[in-house]
């Protein structure tokens, strides 16, 4: 099973709120997921990002790949740091 860390959209029309989830790549965007690892609210000023670094590092260690937007959110939050080849590395180790 291939796992991605991606955004699942919630909230009402024209008022998006996202959960950062670990999900099987075959499931729909807002469908079944394995675990919620954070939230992202782009409507707040400044945007609000809350991530569980331990869960994210655990999923990446198991082989989960973050999407581009989630990778940017993770780096901005300081959970992971970029490496020379574009992959992500743990900020702790």
H runs (alpha helix) in 1-93: 53-61, 68-77
Domain ranges of the chain: 3-86
Kindly tell me if the per-residue pLDDT of 93 is higher than 60.
no
**Per residue in 31-76, pLDDT tens?**
888 999 999 999 988 989 999 999 999 999 999 999 999 999 999 8
Whole-angstrom Cα distance, residue 25 to residue 6? 9
Give every CB contact of residue 86 below 8 A, 6+ residues apart in sequence: none
At the top level of CATH, which class does the domain 3-86 belong to?
alpha beta
55 φ, ψ to 5°? -65, -40
| H or E segment to which residue 80 belongs | strand 80-82
Q: Give the pLDDT score at 29.
A: 81
Q: Maximum CA pair distance of the chain?
A: 41
- Tell which wins on pLDDT, 57 or 88: 57
């Amino acid at each position: 099973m291939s796992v991605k860390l991606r955004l699942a959209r919630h909230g009402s029309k024209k008022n998006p709120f996202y959960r950062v989830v670990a999900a099987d790549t075959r499931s729909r965007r807002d469908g079944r997921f394995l675990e919620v690892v954070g939230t992202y609210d782009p409507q707040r000023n400044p945007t609000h990002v809350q991530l569980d670094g331990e869960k994210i590092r655990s999923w990446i260690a198991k082989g989960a790949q973050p999407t581009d937007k989630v990778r940017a959110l993770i780096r901005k939050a300081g959970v992971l740091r970029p490496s020379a080849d574009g992959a992500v590395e743990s900020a702790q180790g």
